[in-house]
């Protein structure tokens, strides 16, 4: 299935809420990803997403709608050569190879536009699908921290996957 990564716009508000308001997505995200995903939370996100230059947060557009998001978050201080990758995709589009291709595009974007040498992602130990797409995109498992995350009343393992810039 074809998709495009593009900057978020205010016109994406309805589709952001339509696809983002899904517990099957929220359960694998940090608590900063709201559930329920309201119009007000969507407005706040789009304001944040459109505030960075160069662009760090992109909509995953499918058939003219923003159906997911992907972003790169440069770190600071002694972690300044690293950036965290985050992503989500509307449930109707799962299992179609979209997000692994989007990750590859974001890795290229990150290394071209930011002074970084490593991009990492931190999927939950219970999110086998996310682990699989990271591996498919060339990320390697670096670490597993047992029961370090607390989400919805349960302790979860945190995994760290990364990819390094090729010299």
pLDDT one-digit tens code per residue, 69-100: 999 999 999 999 999 999 999 999 999 999 99
Peptide bond into 36 cis (omega under 30): yes
DSSP string for residues in 70-126: EEEEE--GGGTTEEEEEEEE-GGGTTSSHHHHHHHHHHHHHHHHSS-SEEEE--BTT
Q: What is the mean pLDDT of the chain?
A: 97
Mean pLDDT of 50-73: 97
Domains of the chain by range and CATH?
A: 4-164 (3.40.630.30)
How far is Cα 75 from Cα 38, in angstroms, rounded to an integer?
28
* Torsion sign (Cα): 57, 47, 34, 2: negative
Could you say which DSSP state residue 55 is in?
A: -
Residue whose entry in the numeric block shows the structure tokens 């074809």 = 2
pLDDT at 21 over 90: yes
pLDDT at 167 over 90: no
Question: Which secondary structure element, helix H or strand E, spans residue 144, and what is its range?
Answer: strand 140-151
Confidence of residue 124 (pLDDT cuts 50, 70, 90): very high
Mean pLDDT of 87-116: 97
Q: Given 3-state DSSP classes, what are the helix, strand and coil percentages for the chain, each rounded to the nearest 5?
A: 35, 35, 30
What is the pTM assigned to this prediction?
A: 0.95
Could you say which DSSP state residue 12 is in?
A: G
Q: How many helices (H) and strands (E) does the chain have?
A: 5, 7
pLDDT at 1: 81
Confidence of residue 33 (pLDDT cuts 50, 70, 90): very high
**Both tokens assigned to 129:** 């699908």
């Amino acid at each position: 299935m074809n998709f495009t990564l593009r900057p978020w716009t205010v016109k994406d508000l309805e589709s952001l809420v339509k696809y983002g308001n899904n517990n099957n997505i929220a359960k694998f995200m940090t608590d900063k990803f709201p559930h329920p995903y309201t119009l007000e939370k969507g407005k706040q996100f789009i304001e944040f997403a459109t505030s960075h230059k160069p662009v760090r947060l992109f909509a995953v557009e499918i058939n003219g709608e923003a159906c997911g998001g992907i972003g790169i978050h440069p770190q600071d201080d002694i972690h300044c050569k690293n950036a965290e990758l985050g992503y989500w995709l509307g449930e109707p589009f799962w299992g179609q190879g979209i997000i692994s291709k989007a990750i590859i595009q974001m890795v290229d974007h990150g290394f071209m536009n930011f002074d970084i040498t490593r991009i990492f992602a931190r999927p939950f130990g219970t999110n086998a699908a996310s682990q699989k797409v990271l591996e498919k995109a060339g990320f390697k498992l670096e670490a597993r921290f047992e029961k370090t995350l607390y989400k919805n009343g349960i302790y979860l393992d945190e995994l760290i996957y990364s990819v390094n810039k090729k010299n």
